[in-house]
Structure formats: structure tokens, C-alpha cells
Amino acid sequence: MVTIQKKTIFFKYFFLLTYIITWLLPLVTFSCNFSNEQEIKKYLQYAQQKEHMNSHQKAIIDNLQSALHFISEKKYSNIKIQEYQKIINDFSYITLQLYEEYNNTSNTIIDIDKNLSENELKQKLFRIDNQLTDLSEQLKKEYDHVHSINELLILLPQQQVAAQNTLNNLEQRQILYTNSNTLIEQAKFTALQSEQAAKQLKVAELKLAELSINNRKELSRLRIELLKKKYNYINNEAHILRHQLNGLCQKEKKQSIDYIKKTLTEHNNILPKSIKKQLQINRDLSIILNQQTHRMNNIESSKQEIASCILQVRQTFNKLIEQAQWLDTSSVLKETLRSQVSKLPEMPKSRQIDHDMAQLRTKRLQYENQLNKIIPLLSSQIKQNDGIPLTPPHKHILETQLTIQRNLITSLLNSFDAQILELTKLKVAHRQLKEALQDVQKAAHRHLFWIADFHPITISYPVNVYQDLYKLLTSDEFNYQIISSLNRIFTIRKTLILIIISCIIISTGLYCAIHHHYQIFLEQSSKKIGKVNQDSFLLTFYNIWYSMLIALPIPILWAFGGYSLNHDCSYPMSVAINDGIKVTTFILWISIVGAYFSSSKGLFIVHFGWNKKRVQQVFSHHYTWAVGTIVFLIMMLTIFNNYNDREFSNTLGRLCFILLCIYLTFITNNLKYSGLPLYLNKYDSSNNIINHGLWNIIICAPVIAAISCILGYLFIAQELLARLEISLFIWIISLIIYHIIRRWTSIQRRRIAFERAKQKRILQLTLRTHNESNSSQLLQTNTLVSNNEKNSKILDLDTISIQSLQLIRSIITIIALLLMTILWSELHSSFSFLENITLWDVTSTIKGVDNIQPITLHSFLIAILVIVITTKTVKNLPSFLELTVLQHLDLTPGTGYAITTLIKYILMFLGGIIGCSLIGIEWTKIQWLIAALGVGLGFGLQEIFANLISGLMILFEKPIRIGDTVTINKLTGTITRINTRATIITDWNHKEIIIPNKEFITKQFINWSLSDTLTRVVLRVPAPLQTDMKKIVKVLLQIAKNSSFSLNTPPPEVYLVDLQQGLPIFEIRIHISDIKLRMPLCHQIHMLIIEYYQNNGIKLPYIPNYLYNNQLSINNFDSNYPNTNYYTIT
């Protein structure tokens, strides 16, 4: 038996040992061959087939996958090294080939067979168009290649330093794995070796990239020149083909028209009307087909123009990127690049193309229907004018014309299809041009925005200003351009008519009719403002409309003057003056409108109720001079910026801008002290730190801009100051709109209050009329009802008005901020330098590879912005949701508060996660820390966590809600706030009681208004023994029913409940709608009982004190509630 047991144990251990050896053998086998890529792949394929893996096996797999990743990087670096080495070695040979191909391209002469048919020409033209498309794509690729080379030239030093530092770290880490005994150490060592080899090749690749970068740029330049020459050659060939094709089409159309004319001339008197009609249709179709040919030519020319613009923009973009590193050393280079950027074409608009395509599709459907009607005409019996059938010659003419008509319509349909196709290509070209222009704008903002335009101002600046001013005024070219422009204005009939019309508008509109009626309207409307029966929002609307209308004539004359200078005139000075007038026209109009608004009976003073003295302080008699000065300075600044490549911007333009900044500083300072608010707090007051801070920024901005201009940063100062002043204008317009809406709500509120006052007066008169027939009890009851309804309605009206204004202010603020965001978004790329300022580095693991991610100042500022936006959103979200969504939904009490609170928690969590991720604090890095802190704090702060969880349970389960009346721990009050840790209750003495949330979950409490606010009041009243008990019951029941606070359902009840010391005790049971009405009900019932007892000579019996305390108390009611014992005691 023992032998059998020993054999059994032996076999068990033998099979176990065999299993272990079998399982470990592949690992031992693979552990020796990690240096080979194929062996690593085999091991990974074998290991990943296992269903269960421990942490060591997973670590081995991760390290080997990293090794494969670095091996692929090593292969890519080898390919790039060979490519760069080949460019260095074969540079001369490749250059010679490109030069030879360039020279051979221009030697061939374009020769097209003139005997080609129309179809052959179209096929050849189609092939050439495809070649042009391919060449455009190749050019785009080459330009992109040049751009990538220029970007690499900027980033190459940083990449070399980073690669070398990584390589040094790897060499130090490799020392730790010299003796790799275990499998996991071998895997780590293999990954480390692969990474080191990859980084070594990367360093070599970057060195060769630096050595070959000039050669690659030169080769790309030669390829671009070659492709441009090929493109121009093939484009000329396409132009010749189109010209030849148009000649053939014109010839065919001319033959058709000549045939129609000949037929009409020879048989005009004998042809029936039906044939004449077809001849006329064919003639019109020939003319339309001719027009479509011209349109096709225009589309082709537009395509060529757009293609040349795209090449120009891409060339400018590459120059800008290529020369970006030399901008700090040369002011001439900066000015040259800025000039090239300013001369680029404008952003194309594709709306007209979409409109043309829609029209072409509509016309195509019409002509298709017309084509379908031709076949029935051939088979129908068309007769002559007198009803006789057509003669054979006439029938032959008709069939010929219908055949021609069918061919013409077919040609038109083909022409429409060709136009739609070409318009689609043109739209694609517009999109490409738009993308190229956006790239140039971003690059210009990134590289040219923060670069100084000129040298700082020195002592010789006044002399330079005088010399340039003298040069400008004494220049023969300047005088010739001005005199010629003025002569053309008064000699060309069209411009002279415009001046006459504008003068008529000024004389008749402003000084004769409009101004007189406007003053009469202001006088009449000012007398109606503030009177409930006469005041109307239409008065405000008409005031705004008339003020804007009466301010138009002078700006219109100003704009006509600029148009007249630039019309049919291409002088640079005339164009520059027209640009200055265009910029200042809107400013002039807004300034005049503001002057009309600020009149003594205008919008600001009479309608808005602003302080008259402060308004007139801003719009005083100096206002006209200030507006004229600002308009003049802005116009001159625009002229000097646009005239003759900014020749006078350094002197005269800079002087105008400095004067403008000084003037704006005084004006904004005057606006601040006039009391104009930029920010109103929740109390509609401008006396807050945000308002003062905004005004200080607006006042200091022109000063900073002037200093920047003095230092040479003229372009930066102009752009930033212009956008800041436009933002101020948007904010002021938003403020005016808010006051306009506020006046409308004020008018509506006063009207509602007036209607309610009239209703109250009618009710008082009605009560006074029936005073003699009604008892004093009923009068008191009605008075109480009236007062109660009045107070509740006034409260509702005030609440609605305040909430409406809050919602309006929130909406207007959001719209204003959105507009300002759009305004400043154009300069987003200008602040890209913030991405180059690294604050710290964080390490993130992606696919098992540790990557170093720099946290820049840009990311840090974005994180702060996210946190600020989250805080503001969480703060203002409850009121916004309540006003816009929740009040329109049929929700149970407290549900809205629960919804807003949960949304606040979610937004706070998301905002915190996003903000932390932007600065490198990812959730994967802090989740274990949070879990550990959660466990530790859960034990240490158990009560606090219990209250937090209880707060969430209260929000979901809703045992209490905002506004509920509860009794807990002998304390009664109304729920006013449910916070994360505790709930705040306001008791009857208006004292706030803070109760932890855990109390409402774990303990028993009374909610007086959870499902129904109805409650019962029990009053005990003693009566003398000598009185009639039935009469007492009847009287008490009548008093309870007559109370304005008691409910009819369930009805009041009166019972004789006890006899104490021979005294009958009656109990009155009354139901009320809200627990807050208990005290008013008790007061009213007690007063009526005492009045009844006194009128009937009944004395209240005396009850001993011990009975009062022990037997006549009200059960189950709040001891904190005042006067809880409702006995009528004398």
C-alpha cells in the first residue's frame, strides 16, 4: 500500500515538473534571441496568444513592443539618411538636369493643326486641362515641401539638442543593464539598445538634414521654376485651343444666323406665323449661345487669374517663412515683406459662383423641357394663317428650323454643363486661394506682428517730419494727382450729378424739413415721457429711428466725395484718400447719432433718465471739434498707410497716430468721469472694481499705444488699439440696447401696476357701496383677502421684472462677448509666441513609450481661462436655466434646484479635469492619489463624507426641497438652501439654522409640505356652563367658515371634546393651505370669538394654570413657533 502511494506521489511530481519545463522552455529559447527583429515578433506572437498573463509577462511584452517601435524609427532614419546623402552627392548632376529641362521647355513652338474638328479640339483641350490640374498639384506639393524645409530650418537646432540629450541619458541608463540574467531584464535591455540605436541614427539624420537643407531648397526652387514654365506653356496652348474652338463655334453660329436672316429676307411676306415664330426662336437661341460662349471665356480667364493669384500667394508665403529668422536684423526686409503681404489679392467670395450655378441649373431644366417639345411639333399638323395645311416648301423650312433649334438647344445644354463644371473648378480654386491667404495671414501675424516697423524716435524726428511734409506738398506728382482728381470730379457728368444730389439731400432734408419736424417731435414726446396714459415705447423707437435718419446726410456727402475722387481714377493719392474716407464714414455717422441722442430732450436724458449734467459734460460744445479732429487724424493715418508703399508712415503717419492716442486718452477719461458704466453688478450699480478696472484699461491703452509707436511698433499699436476701441464701441452699443429694453420693461411694469391700482379702486368702491348691508366681520374678511392678494401680486411683479432684466443682461453680455471674440480671433496666430515659452515639462506614456510634453505659457493661460469660464458659468447657470427653461416646465417643487445643482457639480468636475489636463495633470496620474486620499479621508473625516453623500441623496431622493417647511430636532423652519455638506433652515424668527445633511437621511423629521401643503389647525376654546351649547357650536362653526384663511374642503369642524372642572372645552378643527397661515388664522379666529363674547355678554371662564400647561396644549406642533397654545384667555 505504501509502495502504491509512493508511486502515485512520484508520478504527480514527475508530471508537474514536465509541465513546468514545457512551459518555461519556449521562454528560455526566446530569451537568447531578442537581438533579432524576427525573433522578437515571434515571441510577441507566441506570448500574446496566452489568455492569462502576469505583470512580468505584460512588462516583457511592453518592452519588446517598444523595441519594435524604435526599430521602425531606425529604418525610417536610415531611409532619410540615404535620401539626404544622395542629394548632397548628386546635387550638381540633378541641378544640371533641371537646367537642361528648363531650357528645352521654351524651345518648342506651339503648333496646332487648324483643320481639327470641334470634337477633336474639345478632346485635346480636355487632356490639356488635366495636365494643368496635375501641374497645379505638383506645384502645390513643391510649395508645401519648401514650407516644410523652412519650418525644419527653424526647429532643427532644438531637435538636435533634444536628440543629443536623449542619447546621453540612454548611454547612462544602459550601464544598469550590463548583466541581464532574467527575461524581463533582457527585454528592457533590448528596448534600451533599440532606442539608443534609433537615437544615434536620428542625430546623424538631423546632421545630414542640416547639411543638405540648402541643396534641397535650391532643388525645390528649380523644380518650382520648371513647373511654372511648363504650366505657362501648357496654359498658352490651352488658350490657343480655346481661341480656335471659339472661332469654329462662332463660324457655325454665324452660318445659322445668316441662314435665318436669309430665310426671313426671302420669304418674309409669304411665311406663316408658325414658321416665323420658329425662326425668331432660333435667332434668339443663337444669340444666347453666343453669350454663353463669352461667359465661358470669362470663366476661363477668371480661372487663370485665380491660378496666378494662388501662385503669388504661395510664393509670398514661402518667402515669409524663409526670411522669418532674419527679420530682427533688417528693417528693410520687414517693410518689403509687409508690402508684399499688403499687395496680395483680397479674400475671394464664392457666393456669386453658387448663384450662377443655381441659375445655370434652372435654365438647363427649362431648355430640356423646350427640347422635349420639339419632337411633338415635328409630328403635329401645323397650319398656315388661314388654317390651310403647310405647303411642302414651307414644311421643309419648318423641319429644317426645328432641326436647327434642336441642335442649338443641345449645344446650349452642353454649354451649361461645361459652365457648371468650370464653375465648380473655379469654386475649388477660390477655396484654395482662400486657404492660401489664411496661411499667409497667420504667418504674417506670427512673424511680422511683433516686429518693429521703424526705428525708435530720435532727436532728428521733427526735422524728418518737416522734410517729408515739405516733400509731399511740393511734389509735382502729388499736386498733379490732386488737381487731376478735382478736375475729373467737376468735368465728368456722373460725378457731378452725384455731388448735386448729395447737396440737395443736405439742403432740403436737413435744414428745411427733417430737422424742423425732428425738433417738434422731441418737444412733444418729452412731455409724454413718464405719464402712464401717454408714455409708449414707440416714442423711444421713433426717437432712435429719426436720430439715425437725420444723421445720414453729412456722412452720405462725405462718402460721395470719396467715391467721386476714386471713380474712374487710378491715382494713388486719390485711392488713398478714398480709403481714408471709407474708414471714417461710419465713425462720423455714429458720432452725429450720439450727438442727437444726447440732446436735452433726446434719448439719453429724457428716455433713459441719465444725469443731464454728466451727459452734457461728454457731449458739450467741444464735441464737434473733437469728432472733427478724430475723423481727420484717422483719415490722414489711413492715407499715409496706403499711399506709395507707406512712404510717409514713419514720419507723418506716426505723428498722426501719436496725436490720435493723446486725444483718445482725454476723451476716454472724460467718458469715465461722466459716469458711463462698462459693467453693472447685480444691484445695477457701476461702483464696483470691475467697472473701474475696465475704464483704467481703456484709458491706459492709448498711452501704451503711443509709447509703442514712439519705440517703432506702429503696426502693432494700430491693430491692438483699433480692436480695443471697437470692443469699447460694441460694449457701449450693448449698454444702450440694454437700457432700451429696460425702458420697455419699465413701461410695461408701470402699465400693469396702473391697471391693478384701477382694479383696487373699483373693488374699494364696490365694498364701500355695500358697506351698510355687510357686517363688519365680512368687511374685515374682504379687507384681509384684498391685502393678501395685493401683496402677493406686487411681489410677483417685482420678481418678474428683476428676473427679466437679469436674463436680458445675460443675453446681451453673451452676444457682446461673442462679437468681441470674433473681432479678436483674427489675431489668434499673433500670440503663437506664447507656445514657445516653456514653463515645465511633464512625461506622458503613449503606447508604452514615454514622451516629454512641454507645458507652455499658452497652455497655462488657456487653463486659467477655462477655470474662469467654468466659475462664471457655475455662478450664473441657475438663474439662467430658471428663466429660460425650468420655469416653462411642469416640475415638482425642488426638482429645478436639484437639476441646477447637479449640472453645477458636473460642470465643476469637467472644468477642473480640462484645466488640469491643459497643464499636464492628467486623470491617469492623479486617480490613484485621489483614491488613496479618498480612503484616508474617509476614515479621518467620516462625518463630513457622510454629509456629502447625504447631500447627493437629498438631491436625488428629494425628501426635502427648497421652500419646504420642516420640523427636525424640535426646530421648525423653511428650507432656504441645500449645500454640499449642510442644509440651511430659516426659522420663524428669521434666524438661519445650519443642519448637517446626514440628519435628514438617518433621523426622523416632519416635512409639512412634501406632497401637500395642506395642514390642520386645532384650537381649543372654553365656554361658560350657563350658555347654550348648541348656539356656541353654531357660532364657532360660522366664525371658522367665514375666515378668509380656512378651506371649504375639508370643511371646518367644532366638537365638545372635554369637561374640565365643570367647564366645557370646544375644539375647532380648521384646514389651511399653508402652514405659514397658522398665525394669521389664529389671530383672526381669536379676534372674532372675543368680539362675539363681548357683544353677547359672555365672559370667558378662568382656567387654572396647571390645566393650561398640562392638558390644553396643542399636540405635535412646533414648540419654537410663537404662541403655540391657542386658548382664548382673558
**pLDDT tens profile 568-612:** 556 777 788 888 888 898 999 998 888 888 888 888 888 888 888
Annotate 376-433 with DSSP letters as a single string: HHHHS--B-TTSPBPPHHHHHHHHHHHHHHHHHHHHHHHHHHHHHHHHHHHHHHHHHH
* Same domain for 1038 and 967: no
> Distance (Å, rounded) from C-alpha 450 to C-alpha 831?
9
* Same domain for 47 and 12: yes
With respect to residue 583, please indicate whether it lies within any of the assigned structural domains: yes
User: If you search the block for the grid coordinates 428629494, which residue do you land on?
Assistant: 958
- Name the residue type at position 990: H
User: Is pLDDT above 50 for 859?
Assistant: yes
Helix, strand, coil percentages, rounded to 5, for the chain: 75, 5, 20
Element (H, E) at 990: none
> Distance (Å, rounded) from C-alpha 1103 to C-alpha 63?
95
With respect to residue 404, please indicate whether it lies within any of the assigned structural domains: yes
User: Is pLDDT above 60 for 75?
Assistant: yes
For the chain, what is the largest distance between any 2 Cα atoms, rounded to a whole number of angstroms? 139
C-alpha torsion 317→323→327→332, nearest 10: -90
Q: What is the pLDDT of residue 505?
A: 61
> Distance (Å, rounded) from C-alpha 1010 to C-alpha 551?
62
* Same domain for 489 and 428: no
With respect to residue 636, please indicate whether it lies within any of the assigned structural domains: yes
Angle at the Cα of 622 from the Cα atoms of 619 and 626, rounded to 5 degrees: 90
Q: Residue 1096 — φ and ψ, nearest 5°?
A: -105, 10
Which of 40, 72, 104 is where one domain is finished? 72
Cell of 1029: 351649547
> CATH code at 1047?
3.30.70.100
Of 990, 1049, 1037, 1022, nearest to 1111 by C-alpha is 1022
Of 336, 82, 81, 84, nearest to 217 by C-alpha is 84
Q: What is the pLDDT of residue 660?
A: 92
> Distance (Å, rounded) from C-alpha 1090 to C-alpha 1085?
9
Q: What is the 3-state secondary structure (H, E, C) of 952-970?
A: HHHHHHCCCCCCCEEEECC
Q: What is the domain count for the chain?
A: 6
User: Is pLDDT above 70 for 134?
Assistant: yes
* Same domain for 466 and 424: no
* Same domain for 390 and 327: yes
Of 616, 604, 617, nearest to 739 by C-alpha is 604
Overall average pLDDT of the 278-298 stretch: 79
Q: What is the pLDDT of residue 1130?
A: 28
User: If you search the block for the grid coordinates 509703442, which residue do you land on?
Assistant: 708
Q: Kindly state the DSSP code that residue 1127 receives in the 8-state scheme.
A: B
Higher-confidence residue: 1076 or 219?
219
Of 159, 155, 136, nearest to 147 by C-alpha is 155
* Same domain for 377 and 320: yes
Q: What is the pTM of this model?
A: 0.63
Number of other residues whose CB lies within 10 A of the CB of residue 715: 22
- b/e 554-568 (16+ beta carbons within 10 angstroms → b): bbbbbbbbbebbbbe
Beta strands per DSSP E along 847-886: 849-856
Instruction: Please answer whether residues 814 and 731 qualify as being in contact, where contact means their C-beta atoms are separated by less than 8 angstroms.
Output: no
> Distance (Å, rounded) from C-alpha 495 to C-alpha 489?
6
**pLDDT above 90: percentage of residues in the chain:** 1
Which of 824, 859, 882 is where one domain is finished? 824
* Same domain for 477 and 356: no
**Neighbouring-strand partners of residue 984:** 977, 994
Of 851, 849, 846, 844, nearest to 71 by C-alpha is 849
Q: What is the pLDDT of residue 1112?
A: 40
**pLDDT above 70: percentage of residues in the chain:** 72
User: Is pLDDT above 70 for 820?
Assistant: yes
User: If you search the block for the grid coordinates 502504491, which residue do you land on?
Assistant: 4
Annotate 336-363 with DSSP letters as a single string: HHHHHHHTSPPPP--HHHHHHHHHHHHH
**Least confident among 53-62, 440-449, 585-594, 819-828:** 53-62
Number of other residues whose CB lies within 10 A of the CB of residue 493: 7
User: If you search the block for the grid coordinates 411639333, which residue do you land on?
Assistant: 377
Instruction: Please answer whether residues 402 and 278 qualify as being in contact, where contact means their C-beta atoms are separated by less than 8 angstroms.
Output: yes
* Same domain for 664 and 768: no
CA 800 to chain centre: 30
Element (H, E) at 443: helix 392-447
Number of other residues whose CB lies within 10 A of the CB of residue 843: 10
* Same domain for 523 and 426: no
With respect to residue 300, please indicate whether it lies within any of the assigned structural domains: yes
> Distance (Å, rounded) from C-alpha 398 to C-alpha 391?
10
Q: Kindly state the DSSP code that residue 835 receives in the 8-state scheme.
A: G
Dihedral sign for Cα 1074, 1080, 1086, 1089, please.
negative
**Neighbouring-strand partners of residue 986:** 974, 992
- b/e 717-738 (16+ beta carbons within 10 angstroms → b): bbbbbeebbebbebbbebbbeb
Three-state DSSP at 211 gives helix
**Least confident among 301-305, 571-575, 840-844, 1063-1067:** 840-844
Burial class (CB in 10 A: 0-12, 13-18, 19+), 960: buried
Is the peptide bond between 393 and the residue preceding it cis, with omega within 30 degrees of 0?
no
Annotate 980-1025 with DSSP letters as a single string: SSEEEEEETTS-EEEEEHHHHHHS--EETTSS---EEEEEEEE--T
Higher-confidence residue: 202 or 495?
202
Angle at the Cα of 73 from the Cα atoms of 67 and 74, rounded to 5 degrees: 90
With respect to residue 436, please indicate whether it lies within any of the assigned structural domains: yes
With respect to residue 142, please indicate whether it lies within any of the assigned structural domains: no
Instruction: Please answer whether residues 882 and 904 qualify as being in contact, where contact means their C-beta atoms are separated by less than 8 angstroms.
Output: no
* Same domain for 580 and 565: yes
- b/e 597-620 (16+ beta carbons within 10 angstroms → b): bbbebbbbbbbbebeeeebbebbe
Of 597, 591, 590, nearest to 518 by C-alpha is 597
Which of 790, 805, 824 is where one domain is finished? 824
Confidence of residue 506 (pLDDT cuts 50, 70, 90): low
Pairing relation of β-strands 838-846 and 849-856? antiparallel
**Least confident among 122-136, 295-309, 485-499:** 485-499
With respect to residue 888, please indicate whether it lies within any of the assigned structural domains: no
Angle at the Cα of 432 from the Cα atoms of 431 and 438, rounded to 5 degrees: 90
Burial class (CB in 10 A: 0-12, 13-18, 19+), 82: exposed
Number of other residues whose CB lies within 10 A of the CB of residue 360: 19
Annotate 686-698 with DSSP letters as a single string: --SHHHHHHHHHH
Dihedral sign for Cα 737, 743, 744, 746, please.
positive
User: Is pLDDT above 70 for 1128?
Assistant: no
Q: What is the pLDDT of residue 202?
A: 84
- Name the residue type at position 516: H
Of 1021, 1126, 1128, 1130, nearest to 1079 by C-alpha is 1126
* Same domain for 1057 and 951: no
**Least confident among 131-145, 719-733, 1110-1124:** 1110-1124
**Least confident among 75-79, 311-315, 766-770, 1120-1124:** 1120-1124
- Name the residue type at position 891: L
Q: Kindly state the DSSP code that residue 182 receives in the 8-state scheme.
A: S
Instruction: Please answer whether residues 296 and 124 qualify as being in contact, where contact means their C-beta atoms are separated by less than 8 angstroms.
Output: no
Instruction: Please answer whether residues 301 and 425 qualify as being in contact, where contact means their C-beta atoms are separated by less than 8 angstroms.
Output: no
* Same domain for 400 and 342: yes
Element (H, E) at 767: helix 714-769
Annotate 306-334 with DSSP letters as a single string: HHHHHHHHHHHHHHHHHTGGGTTT-HHHH
Work out the mean pLDDT of the chain and round it to a whole number: 74
Q: Which domain holds residue 1035?
A: 1013-1110
With respect to residue 717, please indicate whether it lies within any of the assigned structural domains: no
